[in-house]
A and B are shown apart, each in its own frame.
Chain A
Amino acid sequence: MTISADHTARDATSTGEAGAVQHEDALTEAVKKFGITAEDYMLPARYQIQMVDPDGRLKPDAEQGTEPGHEYPLPGDEELLAAYEQLVVGRRVNDQNSALVRQGRMAVYPSSHGQEACQVAAALCLSDGDWMFPTYRDAVAVMTRGVDPVQVMTIFRGDWHGGFDPLKHHVGIQCTPLTTQLLHAVGVAHAAKLRGEDTVVLAMCGDGATSEGDFHEALNFAAVFHLPVIFFVQNNKYAISVPLAHQSVAPSLAHKAVGYGMAGERVDGNDVVALLAVLDRAVKLAREGSGPLLVEANTYRMQAHTNADDDTRYRESAEVAEWRAKDPVNRMRTYLTDRGLLDSAGEARIAEKAEAVAAQLREGLSEDVPVDPQELFRHVFARQTPQLKEQSALLADELARDAAASSQEAAK
């Protein structure tokens, strides 16, 4: 495959001002496409995009927060029904996993309870060839993308650091060092672009993580190299105990986009309809070559950071209650039922599916998977070193002697 035409053209003419040339292109493109200034394209709309209100009612067009150049068509019914199904499954998975942690079947589980709309939309907006780079909190998004639930949970069960093949699913291993994965997303997009592929990459992080250096470096790299990366920030208002006000005093996290020369938008993160509308358009724009975008989802972490955290130490229960009324799953159920798209038979079918996934998790995680100590040495390098061979023999010998000793003990 040859490098895409715009690169070749610039090659012939430019002298190291590639970034500047691309930037100009992006500006003109935006102005042309939407008939607004580049600045108005990059700045988020004045209000967050919300299509279905917390009571499950479709908002009038004029009140959805859209503006010229920030217009979002309502997603199709089929997409919305599929999203609802995944919302219900996601909620069940979150609650099942939290229960498994309490029972000691898993070491830890950072729940996305309350953030399921973000999780589901992040996965559903992508095509098969696209990539996703999730964080520790995004297990539901990874499953929605089609990775086996038990494989996803391996990381939290404690028998390995990752349980699925990233290359097979086009999903990075869930990442803990905050925002480091955003740069991997940039690299995957860059490689794809050099090969002339139209891969879009969705890179996820939380509100607190936007303070990290790699967040800045990733956004800047994506913008300068004009890459199809969507930075998807789930603003759930807390970084463990620290509220957003201690991380940033920007008007919104979406406003950070303009500083890098990319478009930003904020969306109600508990409204899966608006999320799909905004992310679907972002994916389309990115795939068409408009460069990276930043989407901030305004949501809330309904539970403690993880099971090890006590959130009563730093927030009021009244605040949590306020957000309970904005629940993404209930809202969608009301909306679809009122529209006549969901009846009790449909509800029952979806509940059954959610229960089946929960059962799969209970079963998969109730077994103690036999671990192979020799595997410790197997994946450190593609080409093994003599030192690791020596150390693996040492451990094998130690285990053999242990086994011999305990069988002798048993014989006595």
Chain B
Amino acid sequence: MSPTVTTSSEANGNVSAATARAAASAAATAEAAGPQPVTMAKALNTALVDAMSADSSVLVFGEDVGTLGGVFRITDGLTKTFGEQRCFDTPLAESGIVGMAVGMAINGMRPVVEMQFDAFAYPAFEQIVSHVAKMHNRTRGAVKLPMVIRVPYGGGIGGVEHHCDSSESYYAHTAGLKVYTPATVADGYRMLREAIDSDDPVMFMEPKKLYWSKDLVDLSSLRASYEEGTTAGLASEGRAAVARPGTDATLIAYGPSVPTALAAAEAAALEGRSLEVIDVRTLVPFDDVTVCESVRKTGRAVVIAEAHGFASVSSEIVARVQERCFHHLAAPIRRVTGFDIPYPAPKLEKYYLPGVDRILDAVDDLQWED
């Protein structure tokens, strides 16, 4: 039985029904105190619960997100806690899901929709490019679209065809969309909450191979600091993170490639090379400042991404860094990306994905002898 829910007519409404609050604090008490091993999936789920508790205009819908809780269980329990009005299954139609979300956002809601897999978001492409990205601009700023499109993306899970695409470049290329992609469990929580609270539409790219990876985090203190606004100065949007400090070269990565970059930095350290790892976090807007500061310091850089390299986010990063840091560079910037081929079948994906060795080879190529 679901509790009574109220909805707010204001996009930024902060109406929280007592029952929803109770549900949230029940979830909170289930969390043990202090840092615990928490999965990215759990952090994302908790962010959805907390956002829905904080603002009754937040709605979640998509395919299998209701009773099942999503094929990756990110929406687990939401229907039970918040009722069928606030988390529900739609007919199978991605354009329908995104198009309806546009209308709901126009009319005072904050929809958070799930695309079941990266490649199954393509039917919604027209809605995303022609409306989600442009509505604010077309209406000369009169209409805001506070909506989030969650996309589980990337490979490394042995998935079959159409389940492992890295589609972030399509969205990053589209003016009017913000593109977030968390790489850590804490960022999963923080960045999803931030995306939901954003008045701009956000493509929220979830690295599916990191869903089950765990970090030691304290969810209740994350929640408290987000809600008390103490993280206000630490907003993720437009802020890259230094995931590992170093001095000799900079590895620039995002989403699923961040742990790979960290592993490469670890291996390099054993060989006496100190690599700094930057986690880009939001592809749009891009944090030129943090990235360029690092490259100016180290003088060398490698950009790492699972996506095809040609005409991609990684090409954009190289171009931007080259434009801004040319005189600090000791070597051309290298890229380690997926090959320009359709994503391979499960038994072949290990040859495709950027791995530690390929990254270290690229680092070795950075003209150290000069």
Contact = CB atoms under 8 A, between A and B. Distances in A.
A217 interface: yes
B262 interface: no
Contacts of B108: 191, 195
B100 A187 contact: yes
Chain A: number of interface residues, binned into ranges: 35 or more
B107 interface: yes
A257 interface: no
B107 A188 contact: yes
Given A8-B4, A187-B104, A224-B91, A381 B96 contact: no
B85 A194 contact: yes
A369 interface: no
Interface string B124-168: 001100110011111111111000000000000000000000000
Contacts of B144: 382
Interface string B198-232: 11100000000000000000000000000000000
Chain B: number of interface residues, binned into ranges: 35 or more
The prevalent SS among residues of A at the interface is helix
B6 interface: yes
A204 B123 CA distance: 22
B140 A162 contact: yes
Contacts of A19: 91
A96 interface: no
Given A165-B142, A381-B136, A386-B285, A221 B91 contact: yes
Contacts of B66: 16
Given A218-B96, A221-B90, A379-B141, A188 B130 contact: no
Given A8-B4, A380-B136, A380-B137, A187 B101 contact: yes
B139 A173 contact: yes
Contacts, number: 177
A277 B331 CA distance: 75
A29 to B, nearest CB: 20
Interface in A188-216: 188-192, 194-195, 213-214, 216
Contact of A221 (B93, B130, B138, B286): B93
B137 A18 contact: no
Nearest to A216: B93
Contacts of B142: 165-168
Interface stretch (A103-111, A176-184, A403-411): A176-184
Nearest to A131: B107
Nearest to B130: A177
Nearest to B139: A162
Contacts of B99: 180, 182-184, 186-187, 214, 217-218
Nearest to A133: B103
Contact of B200 (A16, A195, A382): A382
Given A180-B126, A379-B137, A187 B103 contact: yes
Contact of B95 (A166, A173, A183): A183
A184 B288 CA distance: 36
B284 A11 contact: no
Contacts of B7: 1, 3, 194-195
A344 interface: no
Nearest to A387: B285
Contact of A214 (B1, B96, B288): B96
B319 to A, nearest CB: 12
A7 B101 contact: no
B175 interface: yes
Interface string A1-35: 11100011011101110110000000000000000
Contacts of A162: 138-140
Interface of A: 1-3, 7-8, 10-12, 14-16, 18-19, 131, 160-163, 165-168, 172-173, 177, 180, 182-192, 194-195, 213-214, 216-218, 220-221, 224, 375, 378-383, 385-387
Given A11-B84, A162-B139, A221-B90, 4 more contacts: A379-B137, A382-B144, A382-B198, A386-B238
